[in-house]
Copies of this chain bind each other. A is one copy, B any other.
Amino acid sequence: MIRLVSCIALAICFPAAASDTPPPTMASVLEAATAADWRKPDPDNTLYLELASGRVVIELAPDFAPRHVANLKALARAKYFDSLAIVRVQENYVVQWADPNAGDIDKRKSTGELPRTLPAEFAREIKAAPGFTALPDGDVYAPEVGFMLGFPAARDPKIGKTWLAHCYGMVGAGRDNAADSGGGTELYVVIGHAPRHLDRNVTLVGRVLAGMQRLTTLPRGSGAMGFHEQPEDNVAIRAIRLAADVPVAERSALEVLRTDTATFAQLIQARRTRSEAWFIEPTGKIELCNVPLPVRGAP
């Protein structure tokens, strides 16, 4: 099978099918992927949120939010989150967990010597950032968008900054009005249409790799902004653990498709121009948060 390579805007090179081969689909791209196209999430940067309904797996993003991620890991190791609760479920927006007594300085759970707040990590320098797989179709909110280390990201070469993007499943550190008032004691997950206006307003710390439906199917909060009005409506958190601290046999064996490979570039192309028989208008474009980031059970 001969494959040519076509290069388009923003220097993405997509392998193009020769005319005698059917155009790629996501299914065919994933079928042709090799073991090297997949990576195992680092257990030292993976959190397990344990609910009565089961586990939600979160991959952390230390390259974007090193101090928040370090604090989160330390909080998890100190069992800070155990017995806290999901206190907010807002339709088409976020699920959020916190100490239900966070507002009461006498009743709130201690973080020991760990800080409750940290300097914001809204964006980082592009200069030292690893490879960026850029998308060619533009974006409403940022000059450039694409993927870095498996996360949806945006960047602005003019100011030399890059930042994570609020796509579905992204996890962030809630804060009060001050930029530096977050620190990881309250976290939220995007469960609706990407609220990209939150980009560079909150420190994003990772994304959900598995178990989204344990969050998205939760009853919505009846209060303002989806907060639960009655304590009994809060959803208990059994524990948040660092995967590395969980016995190997109890870990979730997952693999994530790398985003810096020719295979991922093919996947983007297959999703930009849909060649499945069902599609009539193949579109020819794709928006950042519509690019799938495949996760599978480890073979």
A interface with B by C-beta (< 8 Å): 91-92, 120, 122, 137-141, 167-169, 176-177, 179, 192-197, 199-201, 212-213, 216-220, 271, 274, 277-281, 283, 285-287, 289-290
Contact = CB atoms under 8 A, between A and B. Distances in A.
A269 B283 CA distance: 29
Contacts of A122: 280-281
A228 B218 CA distance: 19
Contacts of A167: 193
A168 B141 contact: no
Contact of A140 (B138, B177, B195, B219): B138
A285 B212 CA distance: 28
The binding surface of chain A is classed by DSSP as loop
Interface hub of A91, A195, A219, A277 (most chain B Cβ within 10 A): A91
Nearest to A226: B213
A194 B289 CA distance: 9
A243 B138 CA distance: 42
Contacts of A286: 140, 197
Contact of A168 (B176, B193, B196): B193
A197 B141 contact: no
A179 B199 CA distance: 38
A199 B281 contact: yes
Nearest to A190: B193
A196 B92 contact: no
With most chain B CB atoms within 10 A of its CB, the pick from A193, A216, A278, A290 is A193
B137 A140 contact: yes
A179 B280 contact: yes
Contact of A283 (B92, B138, B141, B169): B141
Contacts of A120: 280
Contacts of A196: 283, 287, 290
B192 A168 contact: yes
B280 A197 contact: no
A167 B194 CA distance: 11
